[in-house]
């Protein structure tokens, strides 16, 4: 899917494209979507799915009613640096899918789509994350040196927690990376 963003800045021209990374992850769990989705629908369970080394804490008062437009604030530690992260639920389609997007945090782009499909008597849990770390022209280097490895460790940890909670044997989640480009058009502000 190609998305065009319009950015308003005085004196800017067109930027032909911006690179972002896509992580696709899938994991089969031996429980139906009606049992798996409610676990993900409770934002409080994010702490269980997040590795301890991220020092993850939900700041939004609970319970958090989940719906399109819901805002959730967190505090995390990225490589020892504390920071706030705010996400918005961009799509909410229980028990089949939801998407969250970062409004504030360590990425210039973070859009995470979660899907839950009935398959083989269980649920195929799918994730697609479109991301770009902050860092401007250094984003690719940051991705290569730290971000990709850290994100993979987070998803592998999450996979192990899900296998322990719902069963599913010793088969870890399948991770696949790709690089894409997003067309960005800038419009010059009128004086």
Model pLDDT for residues 3-45, shown as the tens digit of each residue: 444 433 334 444 445 689 999 999 999 999 999 999 999 999 9
Spell out the alpha helix ranges (H) of 42-108. 46-49
Overall size of the chain counted in residues: 191
Q: How far apart are alpha carbons 71 and 103 in whole angstroms?
A: 9
- Summarised one tens digit per residue, pLDDT across range 132-147 is 999 998 999 999 999 9
Closest-CA residue to 1 (of 131, 184, 182):
182
Q: Nearest Cα to 152, choosing from 58, 21, 38?
A: 21
Domain boundaries, the chain: 5-188
Scan for tokens 């961009």, then name that residue. Answer: 90
pLDDT recorded at residue 191: 37
Run of H or E residues at 128: strand 122-133
Q: Which two tokens stand for residue 124?
A: 């195929």
> Over 80: is that where the pLDDT of 67 sits?
yes
The span from the CA of 156 to the CA of 66, in Å, is 25
User: For the chain, what percent of residues have pLDDT higher than 90?
Assistant: 76
The model's pTM:
0.84
Does domain 5-188 bear CATH number 3.30.530.20?
yes
- When computed from its CA atoms, the radius of gyration of the chain, rounded to whole angstroms, is 18
The values of phi and psi at residue 70, to 5°, are: -60, 135
Q: What is the overall mean pLDDT for the chain?
A: 87
């Amino acid at each position: 899917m190609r998305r065009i963003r319009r950015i308003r800045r005085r004196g800017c021209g067109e930027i032909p494209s911006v690179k972002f990374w896509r992580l696709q992850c899938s994991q089969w769990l031996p429980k139906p979507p009606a049992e798996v989705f409610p676990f993900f629908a409770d934002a409080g369970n994010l702490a269980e799915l997040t590795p301890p080394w991220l020092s993850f804490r939900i700041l939004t008062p609970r319970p958090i009613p989940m719906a399109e437009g819901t805002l959730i604030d967190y505090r995390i530690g990225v490589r020892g640096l504390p920071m706030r992260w705010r996400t918005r639920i961009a799509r909410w389609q229980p028990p089949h899918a939801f998407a969250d997007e970062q409004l504030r945090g360590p990425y210039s782009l973070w859009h995470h789509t979660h899907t839950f499909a009935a398959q083989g008597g269980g649920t195929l849990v799918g994730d697609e994350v479109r991301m770009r770390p902050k860092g401007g022209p250094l984003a690719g280097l940051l991705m290569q040196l730290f971000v990709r490895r850290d994100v993979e460790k987070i998803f592998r940890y999450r996979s192990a927690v899900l296998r322990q909670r719902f069963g599913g044997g010793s088969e870890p989640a399948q991770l696949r990376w790709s690089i894409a480009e997003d067309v960005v058009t800038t419009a010059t502000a009128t004086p």
